[in-house]
Chain A
Amino acid sequence: MNSVVVVIIGFIVAFIGYRVYAKYIDTKIMKADPKRATPAKMYMDGVDFMPTSKNILFGYQFKSIAGAAPIIGPIIAIQWGWLPALLWILAGAFFIGWVQDYSSAMIAMRHEGASLGGLSHKLISPRARIILLSFLYFYLLLIAGAFGNVVVSTAIGLKAAPMAWLFMTIGGILAGQMIYRWKKDIILTTVVTVVIALFGIWLGTIAPSNKIIGDSLANSRWVWAIAAFVFCYFAAVLPIWRFALPINYVASYIVFLGLFFGIIGIFVAHPNFTLPAYTGFSIKIGPIWPIMFVTIACGAISGWHSLVSTSGTARQLEYETDARPVGGGVMFVEMMLAVFALVIAGTIYASATEYGAAIAKGPGVIFAAGVSKFLGALGLPLDTGRSYGSVMMIVLAVTIMQLVIRFMRIATSELLSDVSPIFKNAHIGTIIASLLGMLLVLTGWWQYLWVLFGGANQLMASLALMLVTAYLMSEGKPAAYAFYPMIFMFFTTVAALLYTSYGLLSKVFTGAVKGAEALIGNTLMGLIGFFLVIAAIILAVEGAKAFNRYRAIRAQAAPAKA
Chain B
Amino acid sequence: MRNVCIHADNIITPLGFTTSENAAAMLEGKSGIRLITDDKISPLPFYASLIDTESLDKRFSAVGEPGKYSRFEKMAILSIKETVDSTLIDLTGSRTLFILSTTKGNIDLLENKSTDKRLYLWNTARLLQSRFNFMNEPLVISDACISGVQAIITGARLIRAGIYDNCVINGTDIISEFVLSGFNSFKSLSTGPCRPFDKTRDGLSLGEGSGTIILSSCPEPAGNDKILVSDGFSSNDANHISGPSRTGEGLLIAISRVLQKISGPIDFISAHGTATPYNDEMESVALSRAGLQDVPVNSFKGYWGHTLGAAGVIESIMSIYSIRNDILFNTLGFNEPGVTNPLNIVNVSAKKRINNCLKMASGFGGCNAAVLFYRK
Asked if A and B are interacting partners, one says no
* A residues whose Cβ falls under 8 Å from a Cβ of B: none
* B residues whose Cβ falls under 8 Å from a Cβ of A: none
